[in-house]
Amino acid sequence: MKPKIRVMVVDDSATVRQVLSRILTQAPDIEVIGTAADPLFALEKMQRNWPDVIVLDVEMPRMDGISFLKKLMAEHPTPVVICSSLTEKSADSGMQALALGAVEIITKPQLGLKQFLLDRGEQLIGAVRAAACARPRLLLLPQEEQIAPQGTEAALQASAPMSLETTDKVVAIGTSTGGTQALEILLSSLAQDVPGMVIVQHMPEKFTRAFAMRLNSRCIIEVREAREGDRVLPGLALIAPGGRHLLLKRSGAQYRVSVEDGPQVNRHKPSVDVLFRSVARCAGSNALGIIMTGMGDDGARGLKAMHDAGALTLAQDEASCVVYGMPREAIKLNAVTRTVALHRLGQEITALGF
C-alpha cells in the first residue's frame, strides 16, 4: 500500500489551521502530521517527523513565510504550497515564494472559510498531491547552462478555421505547477526579436500581474499581463490574467488577444486548452506550441489541435519538469513533435525560425 502524503500546516490563524487540516484529511492519501502557528514552532515539530509537503502562510509572527522558505530551501529542500490571502501585498510575496522554490499558490479568503472548504478543497488537495511529486531543486541548472459564457470551450469548438493571410509567427505556451520558475528560465534566454508570445500560467487573480512584472524586470523582452485587444508583437510576451481566459484572434493580418470571462475549462481559468485551440484556429502552421511542467491534462487536446493544424509543437522533457503531467498527457495524444529540456527550449525557438 502506497504511503500517505505527510503534510505540515503552518499558519498563525487557529481557524485556518483547523479548516485546512479538515480539507486535507478528507483525501484518503493525505495525512496531516502536524500544525504550527509559525515557522519556529513548525521547525521544532518537523525535526521529529519531517513532512513530505508543507502548506505555508506568508504573513506570520516571529518568522515570516518567505524567510522560512529561504531557510528551508537552503538547508532541507521540501515541497511547499503557499496558502495566502488574495491581496496585492500577498501577490508580491507569493512571487518571491515561487522564485525561492514554492510549488504552487492557493488563495484563501479573509472571510468565509466554511465556503472555502466547499469551493476550494479539491484545488488544495490537488496542489498537495502535485507538490508531493515535485523536486524542489530541479530548476537549479548547472552554472554553465544558466542563461541571464462566450469565448470559451463551446465558442472555440463552433468557430470555423480562418484562412492564413499572414506570415507573422506566434509562440503559445502553457504551463502550471513549477511553471513560474520554468518560464523565467525560458523567457530570460530569449532575444528581443523573438516572435510575439501568448502564455497561460495557472495562477490566481492578482498574482499574474505581479508575476508578469517580475518577469519583465528580468528579461530583455517585454512581459506584461494581457489586456483586451492587445496586439501580439515581436519581443512581447502576454500573460493570461488570473481568472480570465486568453484567446488569440485575427484582425486583418494582425494577431490580437481577447481576454474573456466564462466557465472553467479542465478546472482552470485561464485554461491552456482554450488558448491553444484559438491559436490552432487563427495561426495554424505559423504557430509554435510549447507545453511545460504542470499537473493534469490541461493543454493536451489544444496542443493536438495545433499539431493537426500544422504547428510545430514541443514538450518540456520529464527530467526538467517539476511535475510531468501536462507534457505526458500531450505526448499520449501524439500532439508533440519532440521533447526538449527546459534550458534548451530558447535555443529551439531560435533554431526553428521562431
β pairing state of 170-175 and 312-316: unpaired
Domain ranges of the chain: 5-133, 153-351
Q: Among residues 11, 38, 57, 202, which one is catalytic? A: 202
Same fold, 5-133 and 153-351: yes
Distance of alpha carbon 219 from the chain centroid: 18
Go through the chain and tell me how many residues it has: 354
Q: What is the C-alpha to C-alpha distance for residues 64 and 36, in angstroms, rounded to an integer?
A: 13
Q: What is the C-alpha to C-alpha distance for residues 232 and 46, in angstroms, rounded to an integer?
A: 48
Q: Among residues 176, 189, 278, 320, which one is catalytic? A: 176
Amino acid at 40: L
> What is the reported pLDDT for 192?
92
Residue 185 CB neighbour total at 10 angstroms: 18
**Contact (Cβ atoms closer than 8 angstroms) between residue 287 and residue 306:** yes
> What is the reported pLDDT for 90?
66
> What is the reported pLDDT for 118?
66
Q: What is the C-alpha to C-alpha distance for residues 302 and 66, in angstroms, rounded to an integer?
A: 36
Per-residue model confidence as pLDDT tens for the chain (354 residues)? 789 999 999 999 998 899 899 999 999 999 999 999 999 999 999 999 999 999 999 888 889 899 999 999 988 999 999 988 755 566 778 888 888 889 888 887 767 777 776 677 888 998 899 899 887 654 343 333 333 334 444 444 434 344 445 568 999 999 998 899 999 999 999 999 999 999 999 988 888 998 999 999 999 999 999 999 999 999 999 999 999 999 999 988 899 999 999 999 998 999 999 999 999 999 999 999 999 999 889 999 999 999 999 999 999 999 999 889 999 999 999 999 999 999 999 998 887 776
Distance of alpha carbon 274 from the chain centroid: 15
Cell numbers representing residue 34 in the block: 502536524
* Catalytic residue flag (residue 176): yes
Q: What is the C-alpha to C-alpha distance for residues 323 and 292, in angstroms, rounded to an integer?
A: 9
Strands (E), 58-169: 80-85, 104-108
Q: Among residues 93, 298, 307, 343, which one is catalytic? A: 298
Q: Given this structure, which CATH class describes domain 5-133? A: alpha beta
* Catalytic residue flag (residue 217): no
Q: What is the C-alpha to C-alpha distance for residues 344 and 121, in angstroms, rounded to an integer?
A: 37
β pairing state of 254-260 and 245-251: antiparallel
CATH superfamily, with its number, for domain 153-351: Methylesterase CheB, C-terminal domain (3.40.50.180)
Cell numbers representing residue 185 in the block: 528560465
